Amino acid sequence: MAKIAVVPGDGIGTEVIEQGVRVLKEIAPDLEFEWFDLGADRYLRDGVTLPDDVFERWKAEFDCIYLGALGDPRVPSNVHAKDILLGSRFRLDLFINLRPIKLLDARRCPLKGKSCDDVDIVVFRENTEDLYTGMGGTFKQGTPDEVAQEVCIATRKGVERIVRAAFEYTASRGLSKVCMSDKSNAMRNTGGLWQRVFREVASEYPAIEASHLYVDVLAMELVRCPERFEVVVTSNLFGDIVTDLGAILQGGIGLAGSGNIHPGRLSLFEPVHGSAPDIAGQGIANPLAAILTAGMMLNHLGRPEDEKRIQAAVQACLLNDEVTRELGGTLSTVEVTDAFLSRLA
């Protein structure tokens, strides 16, 4: 029986994760859940972000972490989010950030004339390197001569494992195309490594079409012709940006799920959206991203049929306008989940 550590987090994170767990209990009654009180409230109460004993228990006892968003205006440093989310990514070595861009209701795509088949892409975003390690520093801070430096790192091991994961996924799903995206025309060192590794790994998969686009061109092409793409592999920063663009192509940030994965090990699943302080506490957050994320987690746990069932029921809700306000509907967070559960049944 799989064990899930639930970290609802902050703002609308707590609202949508509660609904996601409702859904998981319905679909997979054998799962075991334990809730962890971690987030801004806990940090403000007793200064705790991610205690070592909790982290050790996660590693020893759990299969997945199901996380809501972290971020709260009362914690401007965002230190709790850095420790909990970025800390987990680095300490658990969750090197794959898996972000599907899948349109389930063509009316919700901002592009003219695109069908659901046209927008069906999976992005493999590298999740442990690049510009997000915190390496760097400032010098002469607060003076006119101030210098700030953020160090971009790429390691052969890091690049190779994400590129290989993208090809393995493509092969195992019977897909045929992988596009690698970088900025190697301007970033010659890290980009050069990505180029060499991509060519090497691609040569091991001769049946898969391996292509390359600079990330600025990828951004244009995702809008012009999303049907060109099946699997995209890219670095941490570029993946962060293009998947937000992708979230809009699939109908909005309230529909985008993600997995932070180390195959065979404890992995973490979270909706892409943030804690949205502007709408927190009003009961109007869209729970569908959290629900689709729950589906990704079930797939990761070896239950792909459950993810398909979830996608089908989400699609039915979208097609029948059983949605929250930001998608033009009138339902509350709980009412959307109610509608989802009836569609599931």
Minimum distance from residue 258 beta carbon to ligand ATP (Å): 12
- Only segment of 142-150, 157-165, 257-265, 285-293 that touches ligand ATP (CB under 6 A): 285-293
Residue among 209 and 326 whose Cβ is closer to ligand ATP: 326
Residue with nearest beta carbon to ligand ATP: 274
Tokens of 325: 């306000």
Residue among 103 and 159 whose Cβ is closer to ligand ATP: 103
DSSP labels, 137-176: EEESTTSTT-EEEE--B--HHHHHHHHHHHHHHHHHTT--
Q: Residue 317, interface with ligand ATP (CB under 6 A)?
A: no
Tokens of 229: 């793409």
Q: Which amino acid is at 296?
A: M
- Out of 153, 253, 301, 319, point to the residue binding ligand ATP (CB under 6 A): 253
10 included as an active-site residue: no
- Out of 49, 273, 322, 337, point to the residue binding ligand ATP (CB under 6 A): 273
Instruction: List CB contacts of 27: < 8 A, sequence separation 6 or more.
Output: 294, 298, 306, 309, 310, 344
Residue among 270 and 307 whose Cβ is closer to ligand ATP: 270
Catalytic residue among 105, 130, 183, 306: 183
Minimum distance from residue 23 beta carbon to ligand ATP (Å): 15
Cβ atoms < 10 Å from Cβ of 154:
21
Q: With CB under 6 A as the rule, give the number of residues binding ligand ATP.
A: 17
The order of strands in the sheet holding 209-214 is 32-35, 3-7, 64-67, 267-271, 257-261, 96-102, 120-126, 231-234, 177-182, 209-214
240 included as an active-site residue: yes
3 included as an active-site residue: no
Strand partners, 267: 64
Residue 82 half-sphere exposure toward CB, CA atoms < 13 A: 8
- Out of 245, 274, 301, 319, point to the residue binding ligand ATP (CB under 6 A): 274
Residues lying near ligand ATP in the complex (CB under 6 A) are found at 12, 16, 69, 71, 253-254, 273-276, 278-279, 285-286, 289, 324, 326
Active site residues: 132, 183, 216, 240, 244
